[in-house]
Chains A and B, each alone.
Chain A
């Protein structure tokens, strides 16, 4: 099966039916291993046991941006290549991305309270991630507000690409401005500054959460394709009844 074949929703549905159980199983196994490693990881010499929040905060923060990146590629697919599944992919990803962004914000607050002495600070990193969360909600509202799916797809694609400008701001906010948030410690020039005792569980959790996203995204895309099939059949039914 080639990539072109996947442009056909029926072939895409057939593929997802085959791969979803394997993806879900792999995600569950990795998350269980990651959770065990996080539970048994040593305390940090400064942060104590609160470092365990990092193992769920960082994967959710990474996914909050990754999902918008996926939606941005899908937006290009809608506007440039007119790929039939591009809008399906973007629309299915938005609520999942919003959930991961919400979790990144809340776990960050719960980590910040004991470490910084505050749940929230209006600094560049926290504020730019909050804006990302609001953009997810705005996009979801846009898809619901516009009745014509092709008009909604184009408007959402434009908004997604405009919103993608926020991604480098989030990434480099800790370098460009003074912030309570620590600078990058995993993906940085010169390699990770994390000890292996923390880095390995973090990477396992990050891969596990990413596989979880791929699983949920494919399942949500399958639902969206079926929803569109329902809509077109209802329209056929209505036109048959009118004739």
Chain B
């Protein structure tokens, strides 16, 4: 596969898209862990939901 004289523009475009999508995925995964951790801390401190269920229960 030859990308011709403008290969750098094509490769940069695809690399940038892959990087931003990866950043989005990692950011959302880290945020999920962070929220679950905060809920575990609240649960450990004895706070319960109005429904009576554990803070980390879905």
Interface size class of A (residues with CB under 8 A): 35 or more
> What number of residue pairs across chains A and B have CB atoms under 8 A from each other?
94
- The contact sample of 22 A-B pairs, CB cut-off 8 A, is A50-B9, A53-B9, A53-B13, A60-B17, A99-B21, A99-B24, A103-B17, A103-B20, A107-B17, A114-B5, A219-B29, A219-B32, A223-B35, A226-B32, A226-B36, A226-B39, A229-B49, A233-B55, A234-B42, A236-B47, A236-B50, A237-B45
Residue A194 at the chain B interface, CB threshold 8 Å:
no
B32 in contact with A216 (CB, 8 Å) = no
Query: Which of B35, B39, B55, B58 has most A Cβ within 10 Å?
Result: B58
Annotate B9-25 by CB proximity to A: 1 below 8 A, 0 otherwise.
11011101100110111
State which of B12, B29, B49 has its C-beta within 8 Å of the C-beta of A110. Answer: B12
A49 in contact with B2 (CB, 8 Å) = yes
B29: chain A residues at CB < 8 Å are 219
State which of B17, B23, B50 has its C-beta within 8 Å of the C-beta of A56. Answer: B17
Could you tell me the distance between the alpha carbons of A106 and B39 in the complex, rounded to whole angstroms?
Answer: 38
B4: chain A residues at CB < 8 Å are 43, 48-50
Could you tell me the distance between the alpha carbons of A110 and B36 in the complex, rounded to whole angstroms?
Answer: 40
Please report whether the interface of chain B is mostly helix, strand, loop or mixed according to DSSP.
helix
Closest residue to B16 on the A side, CB-wise? A106
Q: Nearest-CB distance from B1 to chain A (Å)?
A: 6
Please report whether the interface of chain A is mostly helix, strand, loop or mixed according to DSSP.
helix
Query: Which of B10, B42, B45 has most A Cβ within 10 Å?
Result: B10
Could you tell me the distance between the alpha carbons of A95 and B25 in the complex, rounded to whole angstroms?
Answer: 12
Closest residue to B37 on the A side, CB-wise? A230
Could you tell me the distance between the alpha carbons of A75 and B38 in the complex, rounded to whole angstroms?
Answer: 29
B39 in contact with A229 (CB, 8 Å) = yes
Could you tell me the distance between the alpha carbons of A212 and B32 in the complex, rounded to whole angstroms?
Answer: 17
